[in-house]
Amino acid sequence: MSEEAAVKEADERFFSALAAMFSGDVAPMESLWSHADDVVYMGPVPGLLHRGWAAIDRDWLQQGGMKLGGSIEVLERHVTLGTDLAVVHHLAKATGQNPDNTAGQFTIRGTNVFRKEGGAWKLIAHHSDPLPYVRV
């Protein structure tokens, strides 16, 4: 498998891990991420910035506990590949519940950064558009 294909596969695992997290299972997300202190997570909550694996894992555990439901599908993906780093920009369609409990659908942009660790591509940074209805 080419390195670009391996990065695309790792990025697809991120979206599979999101689907699992929506039902309460955070294990796939935990295995995808690097557990280093320099990892960064900037999810859809406005103003959110977590640094280091411990803080990021706490956030995923909290999100998993909420069992948010819904789904997410990649519409477009662009990979920029380096030797040990790769950046993936994606556009995705998400469905779920709006704050008023009606069904919602929206498009979200995101960026994942992967680092090759021990021969595997591990997620070291995620950034996505803020969702305007999410409040901290």
In a domain, 133, yes or no: no
DSSP at 60: H
Q: Is residue 55 exposed (0-12), middle (13-18) or buried (19+ Cβ within 10 Å)?
A: middle
Q: What is the pLDDT of residue 136?
A: 44
Q: What are 104-128's pLDDT values in tens digits?
A: 778 889 999 999 999 999 999 999 9
Q: Are 69 and 22 in contact (CB under 8 A)?
A: yes
User: What was the pLDDT predicted at 135?
Assistant: 47
Looking at the domain assignment, is residue 134 inside a domain?
no
Q: Which CATH number fits the domain that encloses residue 121?
A: 3.10.450.50
Residue 121 lies in a domain: yes
- Full domain range(s) for residue 10: 3-128
Q: Which segments of the chain have a pLDDT < 50?
A: 135-136
Looking at the domain assignment, is residue 46 inside a domain? yes
Domain for residue 135, yes or no?
no
Domain count across the chain: 1
